[in-house]
């Protein structure tokens, strides 16, 4: 191989040609991973609004766990994808879910995840996870407003179904 055939070997490039791009990590390629809300911030006062707010994630083919940090008036501060799981499960710890809320001084959080299969009904693991997160939120004085499970054209609210306690003082 001659030098003029492979100028990249010497770290040079032909005049007028751009240097090749370095590969970027996947988390930099997606604008879905984190959204920081500018003013006016969306008011997320009911599960229907949360579901509409997550429309861009409805057609994901793997479970995606999202945390939405809110102010005392339930206005969104930040939406962050915490974990991308498998087709039928998404294991996440309370520590991972509460970290954005603590770092952004959020008054409360709404957690949400999708069910790629199309049925938004909660599994036993979903109910157990919700109770575990609710206990962790109590320790940090962060309100858990809801856990919304959404699918292609429907959603399920853990708060509306009574799985999350009503006391939000």
CATH number, domain containing residue 59: 3.40.140.10
Q: Is residue 77 part of a domain?
A: yes
Using only C-alpha atoms, the chain has a radius of gyration, in whole angstroms, of 21
Range name among 49-58, 60-69, 83-92 with the lowest pLDDT average: 83-92
pLDDT at 91: 76
**What are the tens digits of pLDDT across the range 127-143?**
999 999 999 999 999 99
pLDDT at 55: 86
Q: Is residue 2 part of a domain?
A: no
At 10, the pLDDT band (50, 70, 90 cuts) reads: low
Q: Is residue 8 part of a domain?
A: no
Q: What predicted TM-score, i.e. pTM, was given to this entire model? A: 0.74
Q: Is residue 69 part of a domain?
A: yes
Closest C-alpha among 106, 126, 130, 111 to residue 41: 106
Residue 41: is its pLDDT beyond 60? yes
Ramachandran angles phi, psi of 155, nearest 5°: -145, 165
Q: Number of folded domains in the chain?
A: 1
Q: Is residue 142 part of a domain?
A: yes
Q: Is residue 6 part of a domain?
A: no
Nearest-angstrom CA–CA distance, 126 and 61: 18
Range of the domain at 87: 24-157
Q: Is residue 16 part of a domain?
A: no
Report helix, strand and coil shares of the chain as percent, to nearest 5. Answer: 30, 25, 50
pLDDT at 17: 56
């Amino acid at each position: 191989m001659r030098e003029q055939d492979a100028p990249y070997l010497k770290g040079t490039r032909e005049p007028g040609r751009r240097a090749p791009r370095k590969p970027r990590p996947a988390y930099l390629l997606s604008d879905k991973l984190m959204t920081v809300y500018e003013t006016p911030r969306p008011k997320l006062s009911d599960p229907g609004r949360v579901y509409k707010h997550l429309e861009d994630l409805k057609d994901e083919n793997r479970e995606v766990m999202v945390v939405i940090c809110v102010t005392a008036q339930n206005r969104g501060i930040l939406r962050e994808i915490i974990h991308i799981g498998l087709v039928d499960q998404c294991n996440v710890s309370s520590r991972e879910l509460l970290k954005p809320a603590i770092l952004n001084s959020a008054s409360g959080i709404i957690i949400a995840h999708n069910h790629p299969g199309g049925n938004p009904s909660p599994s036993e693991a979903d109910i157990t996870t919700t109770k575990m997160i609710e206990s962790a939120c109590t320790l940090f004085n962060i309100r858990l407003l809801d856990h919304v499970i959404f699918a292609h054209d429907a959603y399920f609210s853990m708060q509306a179904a009574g799985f999350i306690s009503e006391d939000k003082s």
